[in-house]
Amino acid sequence: MPAARKCPICGKPPVEAFKPFCSKRCADVDLNRWLTGSYVIPARDDEPPIDDGNLIPGYDEDDNI
Length, in residues, of the chain: 65
Q: What does the pLDDT read at residue 57?
A: 62
In a structure prediction context, what are the per-residue pLDDT tens digits for the chain, which is 65 residues long? 566 899 999 999 999 999 999 999 999 999 999 999 998 888 777 766 666 665 666 666 666 55
The DSSP call for residue 27 is H
Q: How high is the pLDDT of residue 28? A: 98
**Which amino acid belongs to residue 30?**
D
CB neighbour list of residue 4: distance below 8 Å, 6 or more residues apart: 13
Query: Is the pTM higher than 0.75?
Result: no
Q: How far is CA 62 from CA 46, 49, 53, 59, 65, in A?
A: 26, 18, 14, 9, 6
Domain positions in the chain are 1-38
The CATH superfamily label for domain 1-38 reads: Erythroid Transcription Factor GATA-1, subunit A (3.30.50.10)
